[in-house]
């Protein structure tokens, strides 16, 4: 039995006719840039998250960079974040000219909120928690620190769409938040895309200009911006997928319950608190002999993937930051243990039981 890690092909098969219909409609209109479909998508996101403003962009990375830029963060500034994330999290900080300052993680795989305060200096200009794997960080103490030191918070919610913490949607705790609409996300487009949400009108207006070359009108430009406009096709796709997001997340949580039921040996599944709703972009487990387990699963056509094997402070791109092995022991430990097992809304109980049985078999033979 072949079990895929992700569900992109299944999703497109289900929605093929809807996507083609949307594309044909837009082609007939002859306008694909900053259309009413984009405005409609932005309004839908505001309604879903409870925020006042949203801007569709061409990637989650741009959403992070523009959030940093809009807050005036520049060369010489420091931004506190986690060492366990995709490289884009710190790449955005570096491209602005600022320095990523890492704080180790905790058992839930997110930044340890109790260790953030000791990393704050007079150069700290933002705190950027990352909602890893679809689980919202422990936001209450982070928000309190932001208020105490008057430091803005930027939520890297690239994987956080549809996730909740104490009844509030991810991205609603901060000054501004960045989301990804990459096809791998629970709310994914048919190409790259992203968006920001904020309650600050001044940040919204700055980024609205910045994403469109700084243009107020065709012949009037306030500053040199960039082209980071979400296209109408992806805005339309994200809009109709947003309608199904709660169902998608419900099915993913169902999958995790089944995995918890069937997985028996040498596997740690991070637990959720009662006030959290994990959107489970990935199903991450911690396991002994991970690399051997992965090879064993591949023999049975079970896909798995390491997210991620190297913490950010040990990447080659981070050399000049001055960190070394051993600086963030929890992150380094997790990166040696973490593995993503097959997980998507089209997975059925038989497939989940098959995967779990093979994992259990591996450890029974050792």
Check pLDDT > 70 for residue 170.
Answer: yes
Tens-place pLDDT, residues 140-167 = 999 999 999 999 999 999 999 999 999 9
- Whether CATH 3.40.605.10 fits 246-364: no
The CATH class for the domain spanning 8-102+109-242 reads: alpha beta
Segments of the chain assigned to CATH 3.90.1150.10: 246-364
Average pLDDT of the residues of the chain? 96
3-state secondary structure the chain: CCECCCCHHHHHHHHHHHHHHHHHHHHHHCCCECCHHHHHHHHHHHHHHCCCEEEEECCHHHHHHHHHHHCCCCCCCEEEECCCCCCHHHHHHHHHCCEEEECCECCCCCECHHHCHHHCCCCEEEECCECHHHCCCCHHHHHHHHHHHCCCEEEECCCCCCCEECCEECCCCCCEEEEECCCCCCCCCCCCCEEEEECCHHHHHHHHHHCECCEEECCEECCCCCECECEHHHHHHHHHHHCCHHHHHHHHHHHHHHHHHHCCCCEECCCCCCCEECCCCCEEEEECCHHHHHHHHHCCCECCECCCCCCHHHCHHHHHHCCCCCCCHHHHHHHHHEEEECCCCCCCHHHHHHHHHHHHHHHHCC
Whole-prediction pTM = 0.97
pLDDT for residue 11 is more than 90: no
Residue ranges matching CATH 3.40.640.10 in the chain: 8-102+109-242
Percent of the chain's residues with pLDDT above 70: 100
| Model pLDDT for residues 255-301, shown as the tens digit of each residue | 999 999 999 878 999 999 999 999 999 999 999 999 999 999 999 99
């Amino acid at each position: 039995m072949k079990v895929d890690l992700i569900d992109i092909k299944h999703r497109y098969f289900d929605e093929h006719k809807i996507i083609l219909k949307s594309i044909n409609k837009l082609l007939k209109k002859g306008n694909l840039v900053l259309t009413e479909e984009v405005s409609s998508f932005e309004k839908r996101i505001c309604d879903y998250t409870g925020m006042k403003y949203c801007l569709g962009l061409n990637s989650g990375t741009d959403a992070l960079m523009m959030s940093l830029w809009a807050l005036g963060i520049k060369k010489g500034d420091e931004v506190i974040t986690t060492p366990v994330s995709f490289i884009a999290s710190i790449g955005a900080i570096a491209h602005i000219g600022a320095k990523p300052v890492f704080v180790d993680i905790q058992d839930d795989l997110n930044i340890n909120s109790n260790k953030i305060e000791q990393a704050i200096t007079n150069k700290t200009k933002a705190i950027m928690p990352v909602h890893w794997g679809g689980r919202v960080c422990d936001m209450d103490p982070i928000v309190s620190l932001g208020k105490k030191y008057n430091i803005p918070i930027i939520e890297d919610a690239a994987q956080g769409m549809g996730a909740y913490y104490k009844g509030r949607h991810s991205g609603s705790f901060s000054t501004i938040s960045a989301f990804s609409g990459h096809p791998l996300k629970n709310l994914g487009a048919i190409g790259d895309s992203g968006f920001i949400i904020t309650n600050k009108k001044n940040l919204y207006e700055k980024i609205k200009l910045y994403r469109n070359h700084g243009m107020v009108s065709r012949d009037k430009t306030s500053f040199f911006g960039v082209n980071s406009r979400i296209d109408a096709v992806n805005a339309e796709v994200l809009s109709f997928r947003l309608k199904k997001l709660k169902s998608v997340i419900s099915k993913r949580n169902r999958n995790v319950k089944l995995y918890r039921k069937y997985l028996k040996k040498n596997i740690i599944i991070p637990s959720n608190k009662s006030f959290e709703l994990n959107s489970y972009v990935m199903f991450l487990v911690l396991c002994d002999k991970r690399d051997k387990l992965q090879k064993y699963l591949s023999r049975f056509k079970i896909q798995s993937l390491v997210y991620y094997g190297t913490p950010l402070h040990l990447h080659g791109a981070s050399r000049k930051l001055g960190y070394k092995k051993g600086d963030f022991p929890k992150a380094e430990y997790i990166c040696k243990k973490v593995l993503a097992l097959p997980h998507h809304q089209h997975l059925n109980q038989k497939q989940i039981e098959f995967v779990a049985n093979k994992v259990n078999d591996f450890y029974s033979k050792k």
